[in-house]
Structure 1
Amino acid sequence: MSHRPDPRITPLPRLAGKVAIVTGATQGIGAATARLFAMHGAKVVLNVLEDNAQARETLASLDTQDAMLFEADVTHPDAVTRMVAAATERFGAPDVLVNNAGINVFNDPLSLSDDEWTRCFEVDLKGAWNCAKAVLPGMLELGHGSIVNIASVHGHKIIPHCFPYPVAKHGLIGLTKALGIEYAARGIRVNSISPGLVLTAIAEAGFAAAPDPEAERRRQEAILPNKRIGEPEEIAYTALFLASDEARYINAADIRIDGGRSQLYHE
């Protein structure tokens, strides 16, 4: 059953007049978030690692002139600074940042290379900090702002052989709480979302790599309490809420979206 927005329904513009940067916006949760934000009246900056055909397709799907594509590796502070400057020049200082860019690094701890460890933390934790650090001065000048970090259920529960991804995601949730408290009195809210299994290109690739892809998909569905895999749009709607003024008293919080999976005592 699809949970995508019904194009026949005209939504109330919950982000009208706001400027939002969405990192890792080429596909999956990032693309779904960018589309939903645009639908709700935001001026959207899509951060992509590479300006390619898929990124351009996502930009076109927003169906608005108030959107732009910016190629930047979030691990490079100078590139992030240029992105925020370009967004500010075109639309004004960002009101909203969604830190979605991330990578999976799953390994046995003693088999993990130093390069794998560094890359995981550079993208999944420091990249989010680079972007937050770049938008915070503008938000402080505006007197308001919402930062939404896309964390993971790995930031709450440990799955063996997924090292060091959960360490970075625990750190991202810690960053969320620390920044949320640090700037609360100055109008800045920082929250995170912890998705469980979501039907993204990465998940699809994981199924495809299994000896029996359909059997693996059914196995994953069976262990979920609601017996289905989440969709990117379901994460995007929570990001929309947290970015909007409807969530103005929610700060330094994390919301798990996993169909209840992480609450199970055993499988």
Structure 2
Amino acid sequence: MAEAVNPGRLHGKVALVTGSTLGIGKAIARRFVAEGARVILNSHRDDADAAAIRAELGEALSLFVAADIADAAAVHAMVAQGLARFGRLDVLVNNAGMDVFADPLQLTPEQWQRCFAVDLEGAWNCCRAVLPAMLANGAGSIVNIASVHGHKIIPGCFPYPVAKHALIGLTRSLGIEYAARGVRVNSISPGLIRSERVEAWLAALPAAERQRQIELLPCKRIGEPEELAYAALFLASDEARFINASDLLVDGGRSQLYHE
């Protein structure tokens, strides 16, 4: 007897992954397509990175839409375009975000506003845009990419942790609000992951400090984007159907250390 072919853990599902042309978002989009999903790709700009992932995944399985998630109208238009193309929307991964690190008393109003517009309101814009389709279908999974900054405070990183704490709060609140209507909302809090941004930061450090950052991690290595992608896959899939309003730490145990 021929062995049954596994259609994939997201077979037949459609997912919107924001910030999916680089780093963690790109790894999630790749994994979702490999597991049978069709994916709406997103970035705030249509550039060479967008063209590369679009070509890699192919037009049959993906749709790229350039939209700034801080722009609610652009987000609603993106979701409408995805629904018109694929006919449904089962999964949202709110991955797009930005780092804003500043001295609290030197932080400009523009920096504060942009941080929250992207890292918190952007996620809410996307949730608000996809929820009607999910609720009409009686099912859906939203995965917000938060951060270890939403659990522990690192000096010199204000106001980013404020936004990430709020994003975890948004996750829990929406998860409870829509639990009885079939929509789950969870978050993932990554630690140090080898994205392009982290690679650039590490490259700018002296060799000794670069090694120290690695040694701070209990597993003595930096996480890979693909490891985040598998966590997102699990939460997005029906395997996690009884997991809701929860946050999953994916940081190699770093945030559990009492001291350095």
TM range (shorter): over 0.9
1:37 and 2:64 correspond: no
Deviation (angstroms), 1:217: 2.5
TM-score normalized with structure 2 length? 0.96
1:226 equivalent among 209, 219, 222: 219
Amino acid at match of 1:220: Q
Amino acid at match of 2:20: A
1:22 equivalent among 14, 17, 20: 17
- What's the counterpart of residue 190 of structure 2? 195
Q: Retained in 2: the 8 A contact 1:39–1:62?
A: no
CA distance in 2, matches of 1:125, 1:204: 25
1:102-121 → structure 2 map (5 Å cutoff): 102-121=97-116
Secondary structure, counterpart of 1:107 in structure 2: coil
2:162 equivalent among 162, 167, 172: 167
Deviation (angstroms), 1:11: 6.4
CA distance in 2, matches of 1:19, 1:40: 11
CA distance in 1, matches of 2:44, 2:242: 33
CA distance in 1, matches of 2:41, 2:141: 17
- What's the counterpart of residue 3 of structure 1? none
TM-score normalized with structure 1 length? 0.94
- What's the counterpart of residue 43 of structure 2? 48
CA distance in 1, matches of 2:82, 2:195: 27
- What's the counterpart of residue 140 of structure 1? 135
Q: Retained in 2: the 8 A contact 1:11–1:39?
A: no
CA distance in 2, matches of 1:235, 1:11: 22
1:240 equivalent among 233, 241, 250: 233
Q: Retained in 2: the 8 A contact 1:38–1:64?
A: no
Amino acid at match of 2:187: S
Deviations 1:56-99 (A, max 9, x none): 11122225622110000000011000100000000012100000
List, as ranges, runs of 4+ consecutive aligned residues in structure 1 with deviation greater than 3 Å. none
1:13 equivalent among 8, 25, 31: 8
CA distance in 2, matches of 1:215, 1:85: 50
Amino acid at match of 1:168: A
CA distance in 1, matches of 2:6, 2:198: 30
Residues 86/164 of structure 1: CA separation in 2 closer, same or farther (3 Å cut): same
User: Percent identity between the aligned chains?
Assistant: 64
Flag structure 2 segments of 5+ consecutive residues without an equivalent.
none
Give the superposed CA RMSD. Answer: 1.1
CA distance in 2, matches of 1:97, 1:54: 21
Deviation (angstroms), 1:220: 1.1
- What's the counterpart of residue 257 of structure 2? 264
